[in-house]
Chain A
Amino acid sequence: MTVPNWAGEDEVGFWEGVERGELRIQSCARCKRLRFPPRPFCPWCQSPDCAWQPMSGRGTLWSYAIVHPPLVAPFAELAPYNVIVVALQEDPHIRIVGNLVTDAQGAINEVKAQQIRIGAQVEVVFGEGPGGLRLPRWRYAAHRSGD
């Protein structure tokens, strides 16, 4: 099951994208602006109509934390591990929490603190997180984007 049972009606589109290997962000059907986290109304034009836009899956590492005990399962045995925030290439104000991994199935404790740099270019991969949920995750971009 990819769509978590706790996903609200406005959030399902995100998780359906994850299932298909697409990072989708909600956009306003009227003014076209992106918004995240998902919600029923556009905060800029108040339209209730939305669409799900596939993103390029590229972004910039905005910040990170290295999480140490005390923690609960299933994260406790992985500590210390990284959590990052990525600013998406399409709109740097759209940021999403993730983990920096070496590949889609990599563990969240493989990339160490000294290897993490704010401002680094990252790209999305999809794989199971420690809780068993399929998640967007991030690795250092293999090649520089076309810019």
Chain B
Amino acid sequence: MLKDRTAIAGIGETTFGKLLPSSEERLACEAILAALDDAGIAPREVDGLCSYTMETTDATEIARNIGAGDVTFFSQIGYGGGAGAATVGHAAMAVAGGQAKVVVAWRARKRSARSARIWASAAESVAVTGRWSRPWGLLRPVDEIAMLARRYMHEYAITRDALAEVVLAVRAHANRNPRAAMYHRALTREEYMSARWVSEPLCLFDCCLETDGALAAVVVSSDRARDCRRSPVYIHAFEQAMPRQIFAMTNYFCEDPLRTPSSVAGKLLWRDSDFTPADVKVAQIYDAFSPLILFALEGFGLCGRGEAGDFVRGGKLRWDGGGVAVNTSGGSLSEAYVHGFNMITEAVRQMRGTSTSQVDGAQCCLVASADCVPSGALLLRR
């Protein structure tokens, strides 16, 4: 069992923004060096590297730039936003299994330019992906999720009010976080309800930002972490889930399309944990699109299936709402879209007590990566 044997000793982030001048390579190294400094660990001690398959900088470039030692564990996780939790999870397994002692996990992403959006070349990409959806005009990730969201809303009589609760709670957190892209931009329910559609039932504010930036975390053994500069944040449980017969994003072709990766990972997470869903006062849930938060709340058992609409009502996702505070730094919807790595760094801040929307008395924090693709989850504890 991985339980509490490893910990996150340091985190680092670059600034987030549109069209940052630095390269992804430079951003990645900045974030990693900041995370090592946060931990008080020398870069030459790094012997493990773990990131996303979508990372454009080769791991050897990262190792050579930061001045890592001999690297004895290196790994990449697939499925875009599904990879976040697993970069830390694999690092934890590597440390617990003795493959490495100091593993950095990171994500650097420059996707704020319009030309960098993958779906903008949809016509050509029929050849490799989406061949059972794109010929009919289901072109973008938002369209793929809109289809599932519509079905979900139909099955459980969930209205846009639930999506608005999600979006407004996350925005309210961004309004308290000076690093967030939407720090100065308040959002009202009326603005949400009158926003332009992108893919009905999803409007502009149901979609994440596009941001440049990089983030990193340093994973070491818990013993080592206790000697580091900061209080350890323990990796209490880690799961991955690729549900049977899943089709990434366009998961319409299996028996139960709403049995998302969250619901599979959720069962395992509570099996492996000393905590129960009732202990979760704060969660960081991948939110490229707002319905993913509803799916995950149900999948991780924070409420029953089909009950998320009621569960989120009345500001229950806000940091001071007395329910489960979700995406307390502003998430992908309002802080930065960096493939969900900001879920991890914010979870660490919550466990250290340094979030700008600190949840009182939270003993653990759930980190859930992208639902609707093969994904992963962490339960961190202080």
A114 to chain B, nearest CB (A): 11
User: B137's contact among A6, A43, A81, A94, by CB below 8 Å, is which?
Assistant: A81
Within 8 A of B (CB), among A43-99: 43, 62-68, 71-75, 78, 80-81, 83, 85, 93-99
Query: Are A63 and B255 within 8 A (Cβ)?
Result: no
| A64–B144 alpha-carbon span in the complex (Å) | 10
| A72–B257 alpha-carbon span in the complex (Å) | 28
Query: Are A68 and B196 within 8 A (Cβ)?
Result: yes
Whether, in the assembled complex, A129 has its beta carbon less than 8 Å from a beta carbon of chain B, the answer is yes
| A11–B122 alpha-carbon span in the complex (Å) | 20
Residues from chain A with a CB closer than 8 A to the CB of B120 are: 72
Whether, in the assembled complex, A37 has its beta carbon less than 8 Å from a beta carbon of chain B, the answer is yes
A69 to chain B, nearest CB (A): 8
| A77–B102 alpha-carbon span in the complex (Å) | 53
Query: Are A118 and B147 within 8 A (Cβ)?
Result: no
Residues from chain B with a CB closer than 8 A to the CB of A72 are: 119-123, 139
Query: Are B147 and A43 within 8 A (Cβ)?
Result: no
Q: Say whether, besides A62-B252, A97-B252, A118-B151, A67 and B123 are in contact (CB < 8 Å).
A: no
Query: Are B136 and A97 within 8 A (Cβ)?
Result: yes
User: A6's contact among B131, B151, B154, B252, by CB below 8 Å, is which?
Assistant: B131
Of A4, A6, A63, A94, which is in contact with the most chain B CB atoms at under 10 Å from its CB?
A: A63
Interface size of A in residues (CB-CB distance below 8 Å)? 40
User: B154's contact among A43, A63, A78, A135, by CB below 8 Å, is which?
Assistant: A63
Whether, in the assembled complex, A131 has its beta carbon less than 8 Å from a beta carbon of chain B, the answer is yes
Within 8 A of B (CB), among A1-31: 4, 6-7, 11
Whether, in the assembled complex, A40 has its beta carbon less than 8 Å from a beta carbon of chain B, the answer is no
User: B146's contact among A36, A65, A99, by CB below 8 Å, is which?
Assistant: A65
Whether, in the assembled complex, B250 has its beta carbon less than 8 Å from a beta carbon of chain A, the answer is yes
How many B residues touch the partner, as a band? 35 or more
Q: Which stretch of B92-100, B197-205, B315-323 is in the interface?
A: B197-205
Query: Are B123 and A65 within 8 A (Cβ)?
Result: no
Whether, in the assembled complex, B22 has its beta carbon less than 8 Å from a beta carbon of chain A, the answer is no
Query: Are B253 and A65 within 8 A (Cβ)?
Result: no
Residues from chain B with a CB closer than 8 A to the CB of A67 are: 137-139, 143, 146, 199-200
Whether, in the assembled complex, A120 has its beta carbon less than 8 Å from a beta carbon of chain B, the answer is no
Whether, in the assembled complex, B254 has its beta carbon less than 8 Å from a beta carbon of chain A, the answer is yes
| A61–B132 alpha-carbon span in the complex (Å) | 17
Query: Are B254 and A6 within 8 A (Cβ)?
Result: no
Residues from chain B with a CB closer than 8 A to the CB of A80 are: 197, 200
**Chain B residues packing against A (C-beta within 8 Å):** 119-123, 126-127, 131-133, 135-140, 143, 146-148, 150-151, 154, 196-201, 245, 247, 250, 252-255, 257
**Chain A residues packing against B (C-beta within 8 Å):** 4, 6-7, 11, 36-37, 43, 62-68, 71-75, 78, 80-81, 83, 85, 93-99, 108, 113, 118, 129-131, 133, 135, 137
Other than the known A63-B148, A72-B120, A73-B123, what 18 A-B pairs have Cβ atoms closer than 8 Å?
A4-B131, A6-B126, A6-B127, A37-B247, A43-B245, A67-B138, A67-B139, A72-B122, A72-B123, A75-B139, A81-B137, A83-B133, A83-B147, A97-B136, A108-B136, A118-B150, A118-B151, A130-B137
Could you list 19 examples of A-B contacts with CB < 8 Å? A63-B154, A64-B147, A67-B137, A67-B146, A67-B200, A68-B197, A68-B198, A72-B119, A73-B123, A78-B137, A83-B136, A93-B255, A95-B253, A97-B138, A97-B252, A98-B136, A108-B137, A129-B135, A131-B123
